[in-house]
Structure 1
């Protein structure tokens, strides 16, 4: 199947899913929710989203420099927001923007392997912490989620805590796993070299802290969109909701996550009594945040490079 046709198909699938979700939630109710949005909370959510991506850009820069691919803070932020713009316009969720970041960093004369691995590891660290915070949020919401899943409350909490702890422990096991001779060469060689460096644990701690800040700010952005539509929920609910909502939005089956994000919002917030129309509205608002930041990235295409590049 040719790429243009795949891109068109993904876009149509995303639009069809979004249309189906809106139709099930009642378009008039969804529009009514959006029309009554409170500007103050909308702005607060957007600012939290921008702050989240600024921290993301600086996290990526620190990781790239640690791997041997240098970039200024200004360039890293500019490229990161440009990537958000591409993600909002191209099919394939986050793939297009990630490829762009790797290519543009490599284009400045940096090492190819370091440039590519910096993007891959940056994305994985974000997903790693996203799932961890989502698991802890789910445990905190056990009173609601356990009956919804027909599980005993104690068992549900134990599963969430144990699963989250094991998940958080995975990166700490990398040095031991990669010492095997099977990883001595090939495309995993740069990762093996990085994981066996003396400062690996220090870098991992920094990466974990930055990723936690990114996801908490993203949860604040989602909550800001919810509050703008009158959806007031405890912080633990938003901590849980970011996992399914953001993971579904990252699936390469739509353009900019439209459709999958709204469907996930409906499913994640339904146990807490949030109407489908309001949940769809929350997903749409968060999508608009992405478009707004993508516009900033598009404007940044015209900015000059930093001195010395």
Structure 2
């Protein structure tokens, strides 16, 4: 795309801010990104499949739109419904851009994570408050100067790393369901698809990481760059190899653990969606958009 078209996109984003500011709580639409099979048996009414085109290619799979607790929602399987996309090859930019294009104001995501701490056990739920990105091969921004990308550069602040108000809804939902939940946690994202070594585990623990994921980053960064309120519901499937008093879990065991508990994850999501949809998010949505606009720069601002 030509640079002047990129400028039009940037101006369009600023216009979006004004449009959202004029909206009300009925404008809330929640995107859900998670593991394959997450939408079953989620009660999603008025289901329809949607193929979305983006400047960054195709999302991981078709997006399923519908209503949960009378709130507009859009579901996407991060690794594809057949789980045939490895973490590095997930098109994170297309996934987030598609959610933005569909008008999502929030994104709730699920992640399977492994524990680096004795206090965090398999089967626990963690709503992380921060992350460390240790990936090396993934596109980190929409504003990369490539053809089709928005023009300019976005120097995005990452504090807080997640939307705290959305996080609180997830935490409260889990507590209301009497599920074991940790209200804080730092997730370190590794490149994958391999698991980490004992030496790497020791390093990550010294860095202050509590959990390991392969898919949180750059998804969280891109959601913030898109002006979307984002929070993660992380499900602990196993302890990492630093823990020598238990066998190392295999991939099949990790998948089995998640599938066995997936209904609990779904219950938390449904309850969270129900509570989010009852509140007015106008100011939060506006602030998320303004954050992007106020940290966006291009050559026109330097002349």
TM-score > 0.5, shorter chain as reference: no
Instruction: Name the TM-score, length of structure 1 as normaliser.
Output: 0.32
Between Structure 1 and Structure 2, which shows a larger proportion of strand residues? 2
